[in-house]
Amino acid sequence: MQTTSGQTYVSKICLADSCLGEFHSKASTAAISCAGSCWRVHPQYAPSDVGLSAALQCLEQNSILPDQVDFVISCSATPDFNNPGLVSCLLAKLGAPEIGGLELKNLGAAPAYALDLAAAMVRSGQASMVLVSCVDLLARYFAAFDGVMGPGALNARSLWGDGGAACLVSAQPFKHSTAMTIGRSAFMACAPEMPALRCDRPSACAFPSRLTVDDFQAGRHLPVVELQELRAELRNGAAQLKLKLTEFAPRQLVSNGLIPGMLESLGADCECHDCFERYGYCGSAGPLIALGESLDSASVFEATVILGFAGGSNWGMVEIGPAQGVGR
């Protein structure tokens, strides 16, 4: 666990432009009851286009030029291509190919890792401004397998959504933003050898033609989703989560909301907020979207923990608190 030796500030959370996609109502199945909606990106847009939209809005709202960014941390399990990843495509579209960057593929747990790493880079002096970009197009990913997925994956189809969000991390507070600082963090990255959720294909507009019908029929490259196993994985990790939440004692908990009711089952004695009802499970984008929504609806920002799930005991949390002596 890491503690802060100096304040590192987080900018306003900016989402990808909603006109890049549409909100669709979730459809319940015999296996799971879903309410609300999910956002699905139009097919002509690649994941990096979604990341670019969120990043440009974030830079503009904070009066930051791309060349003022020292490093980019991209979170995406569904990049344009497996290699190069989304971060390379995003930097090219930003017109800043000289900036360094890396990519995290921990699904919902990735933003906690990204914010913690960005804060460490700023504190050490390695960077003064880090852009964190979170994009996952899980609705598109699973839609590519309609007609060949097993019943478990089809029953889970309504859980998945698309999402994109971005923020900046700096040693200086941002104008026109709630003054948020990054504090402690905690992580677990263990998952079953064959987890209930497996994603092993890229999410570009056109999927690679090298994958044939025989591959699908043989079960190669298929997403595997078994809801009962997924719930069991999360239950197995709940004990450690409860312990860490007790140590952090947040006043607010925001999450990507992988399974409806999961936050309540942790018994967290705080206000809980996730974006599942509106966006569905959208991987790495979910925790940042939830934080942005909670900030928009709150009159006063209080100590918050961002909690992200990636299946099993694979999760991450990072503490976000109000900056001392800095106004809105």
pLDDT in tens, 21-31: 998 876 655 44
Compute the average pLDDT of residues 220-230. 54
Q: Which of 17-26, 171-180, 248-257, 262-271 has the lowest mean pLDDT?
A: 262-271
* % of the chain beyond a pLDDT of 90: 35
Model pLDDT, residue 4: 40
Burial class (CB in 10 A: 0-12, 13-18, 19+), 230: buried
187-201, 248-262, 278-292 — most confident range: 278-292
Lowest mean pLDDT among 148-152, 202-206, 262-266, 310-314: 202-206
Higher pLDDT, 121 or 195: 121
Confidence of residue 224 (pLDDT cuts 50, 70, 90): low
Q: Comparing 310 with 63, which gets the higher pLDDT? A: 63
Query: Chain-wide mean pLDDT for the chain?
Result: 78
Over 80: is that where the pLDDT of 96 sits?
Answer: yes
Mean pLDDT of 115-143: 92
Instruction: Please name the residue that has the structure tokens 């999910």.
Output: 38
What's the rounded mean pLDDT across residues 142-154? 55
Q: Is the pLDDT of residue 207 over 80?
A: no
Rounded Cα distance, 104 and 284, in Å: 9
Which tokens sit at 69?
């960014």
pLDDT value of residue 265: 65
More confident residue, 42 or 38: 42
Task: Compute the average pLDDT of residues 94-111.
Answer: 91
Whether the pLDDT of residue 15 is over 90: the answer is yes
pLDDT value at 118 more than 90: yes
Those residues with Cβ within 8 angstroms of residue 56's Cβ, 6 or more apart along the chain or in another chain = 94
Mean pLDDT confidence for 106-129: 94
**Is residue 312 predicted with pLDDT exceeding 70?**
no
To the question of domain 1-328 being in CATH 1.10.10.10, the answer is: no
pLDDT value for 211 = 43
CA 265 to each of CA 181, 237, 238, 250: distance values in angstroms, whole numbers, following the listed order: 28, 12, 8, 16
Q: What pLDDT does residue 89 have?
A: 93
pLDDT at 47: 93
Q: What is the pLDDT of residue 314?
A: 78
With a cut of 80, say whether residue 195 has pLDDT above it: no
pLDDT top residue among 183 and 226: 183
